[in-house]
């Protein structure tokens, strides 16, 4: 089994080397290709990714667009989408292989923040429960390539909430989803740049806008008004 790990980036020079090194150290000789899809970085993201020896693709900006391009160029049987400010568990390849062997079509991890703040620990705790609310992109997503193609990938209308849209469509098609009981480490920078309350309010507002069918651009503009958003 080949796993294609796809990392969308935009000005992630401070994080990309750390993530790539983590992946390389933990693949243990197993089949895993790494594809970085850059959305027009103006820092050293591309140069650093190339120096790390991974494949780098250039793309128009937008995570859905970038991840679809990575998937289209992937050679693996399984796609694993990982945000650049996260670090997957050491045994992520074995975890994914086991989930596929158990006939799951897709899945994600719980998460914990790289912060000792108690409120963020509480946030991480609730990602151990299976719900649409706790399956955001920060938790990463693995999916069988044929399933991803059958669902027509990510809807590129969504600049945010693209994972929720994808998983909603997958659930309607009765694909099997596994919430793996290990933690992916996630940067707390969004909370550092804003505040806990602002981020929680923004997340709640845009999640409910998504649920009730608001246009993707309106969801995005609302989110950008509420918090400092990097993408």
CATH code for position 117: 3.90.550.10
pLDDT band at 117 (very low <50, low <70, confident <90, very high): confident
This prediction has a pTM of: 0.94
Q: To which residue do tokens 């000792």 refer? A: 116
Q: Is residue 162 part of a domain?
A: yes
Give the pLDDT confidence score for residue 226 in this predicted structure: 94
Q: Is residue 21 part of a domain?
A: yes
Neighbours of 5 (CB within 10 A): 28
Residues 89, 142, 96, 136, CA torsion sign: positive
Mean pLDDT confidence for 151-164: 96
Across the beta sheet with 177-186, the strand order is 55-58, 32-38, 3-9, 78-81, 141-144, 106-113, 177-186, 86-87
Number of domains in the chain: 1
Task: Report the relative pairing of strands 141-144 and 78-81 from DSSP bridges.
Answer: antiparallel
Chain mean pLDDT for the chain:
93
Tokens, residue 94: 């074995």
Provide the 8-state DSSP code for 138: G
Provide the 8-state DSSP code for 133: G
Q: Return the bridge partners of 186, or none.
A: 86, 113
Q: Does the pLDDT of residue 149 top 90, yes or no?
A: yes
Q: Does the pLDDT of residue 231 top 60, yes or no?
A: no
Maximum pairwise Cα distance, the chain: 45
Model confidence pLDDT, tens digit, residues 159-218: 999 999 999 999 999 999 999 999 999 999 999 999 999 999 999 999 999 999 999 999
Q: Is residue 206 part of a domain?
A: no
Give the pLDDT confidence score for residue 119 in this predicted structure: 87
Cα of first residue to Cα of last residue in the chain, in angstroms, is 32
Q: Is residue 16 part of a domain?
A: yes
**Domain around 175:** 3-186
Q: Does the pLDDT of residue 102 top 70, yes or no?
A: yes
Give the pLDDT confidence score for residue 108 in this predicted structure: 94
Give the pLDDT confidence score for residue 178 in this predicted structure: 95
pLDDT band at 128 (very low <50, low <70, confident <90, very high): confident
Q: Does the pLDDT of residue 132 top 70, yes or no?
A: no
Q: Is residue 94 part of a domain?
A: yes
Residues 79, 180, 178, 156, CA torsion sign: negative
Nearest by Cα to 67 from 45, 36, 111: 36
């Amino acid at each position: 089994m080949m796993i294609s790990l796809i990392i969308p980036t935009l000005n992630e020079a401070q994080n990309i080397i750390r993530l790539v090194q983590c992946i390389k150290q933990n693949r243990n000789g197993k089949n895993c290709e790494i594809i970085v899809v850059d959305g027009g970085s103006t820092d050293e993201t591309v140069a650093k990714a190339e120096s790390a020896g991974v494949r780098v693709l250039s793309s128009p900006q937008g995570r859905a667009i970038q991840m679809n391009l990575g998937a289209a160029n992937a050679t693996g049987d399984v796609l694993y989408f990982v945000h650049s400010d996260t670090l997957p568990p050491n045994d992520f390849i074995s975890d994914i292989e086991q989930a596929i062997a158990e006939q799951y079509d897709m899945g994600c991890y719980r998460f914990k923040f790289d912060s000792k703040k108690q409120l963020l620990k509480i946030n991480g705790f609730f990602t151990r429960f299976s719900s649409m609310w706790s399956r955001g992109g920060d938790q990463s997503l693995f999916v069988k390539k044929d399933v991803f193609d059958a669902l027509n990938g990510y809807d590129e209308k969504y600049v945010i909430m693209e994972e929720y849209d994808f998983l909603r469509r997958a659930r309607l098609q009765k694909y099997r989803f596994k919430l793996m009981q290990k933690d992916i480490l996630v940067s707390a920078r969004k909370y550092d740049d804003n505040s806990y309350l602002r981020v929680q309010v923004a997340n709640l507002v845009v999640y409910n806008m998504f649920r009730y069918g608001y246009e993707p651009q309106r969801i995005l503009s609302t989110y950008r008004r509420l918090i400092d958003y990097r993408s």
